[in-house]
Amino acid sequence: MAFCASIRHAECMANFFTARGVPAAAVHSEQTGANHALDRSTAIAELERGHLKAVFAVDMLNEGIDIPSLDTVMFLRPTESYVVFLQQLGRGLRKYPGKSHCTVIDFIGNYKRAHYLPRLLAGENPWVDRPAAFRHPQESEFPERCSVNFDFRVIELFDEMAARDPLPVRMLDTYRRIEHSLGRRPSRLHIMEHR
């Protein structure tokens, strides 16, 4: 499953994959008549049957679907919402017989907050329960039978990014994200509700 920023992008990706032997479809809210665009239920059914190998979604399939066999999630769009990010990531984190792992590929570079991923996967909320010091991913306690493997170069990147993420920068990022989503200056209440 891949999450795209625009309908055109999703349809182009579905065409590209299909032309190279990987059956794919685009799923979005408009009916454009594109030869690889499918409605939500048809795409899910075809994916579950194995007729499709990839689905490129635009503002759909973030939540409310359960396809436990999904083993790859691709991020082809940025997101400022931690909730949306977690919902999209969760599409591939379901348990399924014979499924040994989930591969997450981030083509967009949502890496600015990558150092939070180990804590999110451990079921923590790094924005509410921020520890005094950064922990290495190996120090997190993950759910039973769940393991997370990071390349050591990535762990070094996590360390570097955590050091560059001081409170004033996080506060300004949060303020701007909420201001953008509201379309106006947020109040303190908005900031507390949208963390």
Q: Give the pLDDT confidence score for residue 143 in this predicted structure.
A: 66
> What does the pLDDT read at residue 183?
85
Report the CATH superfamily, name and number, of domain 1-108. Answer: P-loop containing nucleotide triphosphate hydrolases (3.40.50.300)
Listed in sequence order, the residues at least 6 apart from 182 whose beta carbon sits closer than 8 Å to its beta carbon are 190
| Cα–Cα distance, 187 to 195 (Å, whole number) | 13
Q: Tell me the pLDDT tens digit for each residue of 165-188.
A: 676 777 777 788 788 778 888 887
Mean pLDDT value across the chain? 76
Cβ neighbours, 10 Å, residue 7: 19
Query: Which of the four pLDDT bands, split at 50, 70 and 90, describes residue 158?
Result: low
Which of 78, 44, 79 shows the shortest CA–CA distance to 64?
A: 44
Q: Where do the H-state alpha helices sit in the chain?
A: 7-19, 40-49, 82-90, 117-121, 152-163, 167-182, 188-193
How is the chain split into domains, by residue range?
Answer: 1-108
